[in-house]
Amino acid sequence: MDYSKKYRILFDAAVEAGRELGFPHAPLTASGNAVEPSLLMAVRDVLADFSHHLNDVIPGYWGNSCQALSTQIFGFLNAHGIPAEIVTGNVIINNTDVFSTTLESLRNEYLADEPLTGSQSLHAWVSLGDDTIVDAALPPRLVKIHSYPANRGDAILVGRAGIFSEKLFLQYEPIFVGSDFIAKTNPPDPLLITKQWQRVLGRG
């Protein structure tokens, strides 16, 4: 099976998992929303410029800041009128289960009355819908920890699940779709970041 097809199946299951858990907001994107190559190219260009702002907000190594980076990208794209949503889940890197994230572990974290201590075992990225993935945190991690070529760490990943699986040996596994997970477990609420960017852009 083409991995993009599997990704869409996992994405739909992740939407349903969030609904069952009581996420208060419906996802802003869906696997059935076709995303044209022209939009991917436009987002790639916009984020190439936006990365300078990200360097100011999150200086240094990005590999451990997936939620903060995804929150900023989510807010920035939505403020520009480009529907985007945060996906929380797991990534298999070159056949290695790096994060060992499960539905049970994320569910327990979301339902906890008090924030769980220690680092979070998960990965977060942004979806434009369909099989698309936007990921700023993984590229530097690939270079530093997984011995990928240095030029793989320079740019924000913007592309499709099937291509990333085939070319980069990355299998993204959505578990939850929606910014509500981060809003509760690792604030600030990404929707508030969207409003901040709307004010900055004069669209609020």
Q: What pLDDT, on the 0 to 100 scale, is given for residue 78?
A: 97
| 153 vs 110 pLDDT, higher one | 110
pTM flag (> 0.85)? yes
Summarised one tens digit per residue, pLDDT across range 175-199 is: 999 999 999 999 999 999 999 999 9
Show the 3-state SS of the chain: CCHHHHHHHHHHHHHHHHHHHCCCCCCCCCCCCCCCHHHHHHHHHHHHHHHHHHHHHCCCCCCCCHHHHHHHHHHHHHHCCCCCEEEEEEEEECCEECCCCCHHHHHHHHHCCCCCCCCCCCEEEEECCCCEEEECCHHHHHHHHHCCCHHHHCCCEEEEHHHHHHHHCEEEEEEEECCHHHHHHCCCCHHHHHHHHHHHCCCC
The stretch 155-165 carries a mean pLDDT of 94
At 31-68, the pLDDT tens digits run: 999 999 999 999 999 999 899 889 998 998 999 999 99
pLDDT > 90: what percent of the chain?
81
pLDDT in tens, 94-152: 999 989 999 999 999 999 987 666 667 899 999 999 999 999 999 999 988 888 877 66
pLDDT average, residue stretch 15-37 = 96
